[in-house]
Amino acid sequence: MKVYLHLLPLSLFFVANLILFLSAIILYIKSKNNSTVNISERKKTEEAFLDSERKLRKIVETSNEGICFVNSDGSLIFVNEKLAEIIGRDAQEILGKSLFDFMDKESMEKAKEKFKDRKNDVKEIFDSKFIKKNGEEVWTIVSATPYFDDNKKNYGSIAIVSNITPIKLFELQLKEKEALIKEIHHRVKNNLAIILSVIGIQYRKCDNEEVKTALEETRGRIKSISYIHENLCRSDDCVNINIKKYLNDLASYQYKNYISKNKNIALKTDIDDEKINIERSIPIGLIINELLTNSLKYAFPSAPNGEIFISFKNRKEEYNLIVKDNGVGYRYDLDIDNVETTGFKIVSLLANQLNGKIFLNTKNGFETVITFPK
C-alpha cells in the first residue's frame, strides 16, 4: 500500500469538494420539498447550489482521477468521464448500475463486503480490478468515503478511483524477475553441491596428504560461496545477504570441519545484523574462510585449549572485520604484500576487491583487521 500513498492528498481534496457539492444538492432537494421555507431562504439555497456546482464542475471534469457517487442501494448516480474511461464504457452506460458489475469476481466480493461497512461510517482504501468491455484488466485503488447528512442519514458513498495498472504491471514483472533470480541461485547452489560431492569423492580416494589438504581447502572455499546462494534461495531478498547469519553458518561449518575432538578451542563471534549485497558478501565470506581455516589449522599445534574470535562491525562510514586467535602467533613481523602462502595471497586480493586495508598483529596470537568503505 505504501506505493499508493501519494494519491491520498488528491483524493481527500476531491472528497471535500464533493461533500460540499452533495450538501448543496441535498439542501436544494429539501428546500423544494419543504413548502414552509420562505422564498428568500430557497433563493439562497439555490444560489449556493449553483455556485458550488460551477466551482466543482471544472475540477471534476478535468480530474485525472475517477470520481463517482454511489447511492445507498449501491447504484451509481454520478460518474465523471475519467471513471468511464477507467472502466472502458460510456458514462451513460454506467449510470444506474452498480460499480460491482464492472469488477472481476474476487474484487466484486471484496468490494461488496466493504460496501456494508460504509453505512457504519467506515472509510476505506482498497485495491479493485475492473474488466473493460474489451476484456482488458484495469487495476485501481479505491478510496471510499460514506456520506451522511446532519441527521445521520446515509445517502451513499463517494469514491475516488485511481488507475494503478502501470504500477501493478511493474510489480508483477518485478515478481517474475525475483522468481527467475531465485531459480538461478537455486541452480548455482545445486551445481556447487555437485562440485563439492566430486571433490569429496576425490578426497576419499586420494592417498597423497598434500593433495588432500588442497582438496579440503578448495572445498571450504566453494562451500563459502555455496552458503551465499543457499541464503538467497531462502530469503525474500534476492540481492542482499544477512551477513550475521551467513558468517555464523560459515564459521560453524569450518569449525566442525577442522577442529579435532581432543582440542577445546572456543569459537566466539560478534557480528552486526547487516544486509550486505552479494558482490561484497562473497569476498567477505572467502576472507573469513581463509583466516578461520588458518587459525584452526596452525594456531594451536600442541595446546589443547584456545579461542578464536570473529567480528564484523558497522563503523559509520566503513565496515570493520576482525579474525584473531590466542594461539602461537608468528615469531616475526608478517608483510601481507610479500607473503608466499596461498591463503594470505587470497586474503590480500579479496581485500583489494573491497577497497579495504589490512592490519596485522602477531603478538599474543594472530590478529587480522580489515577495514573497507561502505
Distance of alpha carbon 152 from alpha carbon 283, whole angstroms: 67
pLDDT digits (tens, 9 = 90+) for 305-352: 889 999 999 988 899 999 999 988 776 666 666 666 777 888 999 999
Q: Is the CATH code 1.10.620.20 the one for domain 258-374?
A: no
Distance of alpha carbon 358 from alpha carbon 360, whole angstroms: 7
Q: Specify whether the backbone of 241 is left (phi greater than 0), alpha (psi in -120 to 50) or beta.
A: beta
The ranges assigned to domains in the chain are 2-163, 167-238, 258-374
* pLDDT at residue 351, as a whole number: 93
How far are the Cα atoms of 140, 142, 156, 164, 311 from residue 169, in angstroms, in the given order?
A: 12, 18, 32, 9, 43
How far are the Cα atoms of 199, 208, 212, 218, 278 from residue 342, in angstroms, in the given order?
A: 19, 19, 15, 11, 24
Contact 372, 357 (CB under 8 A): yes
Distance of alpha carbon 365 from alpha carbon 330, whole angstroms: 7
pLDDT digits (tens, 9 = 90+) for 134-183: 999 999 999 888 888 777 787 888 889 999 999 898 988 888 888 888 88
Q: Is 126 helix (H, G, I), strand (E, B) or coil?
A: strand
**What pTM was estimated for this model as a whole?**
0.62
368, burial (CB in 10 Å: exposed 0-12, middle 13-18, buried 19+): buried
300, burial (CB in 10 Å: exposed 0-12, middle 13-18, buried 19+): buried
Largest separation between any pair of C-alpha atoms in the chain: 112
Domains 2-163 and 258-374 alike in fold: no
Distance of alpha carbon 322 from alpha carbon 366, whole angstroms: 11
CATH number of 2-163: 3.30.450.20
pLDDT digits (tens, 9 = 90+) for 9-35: 444 445 555 555 555 555 555 555 554
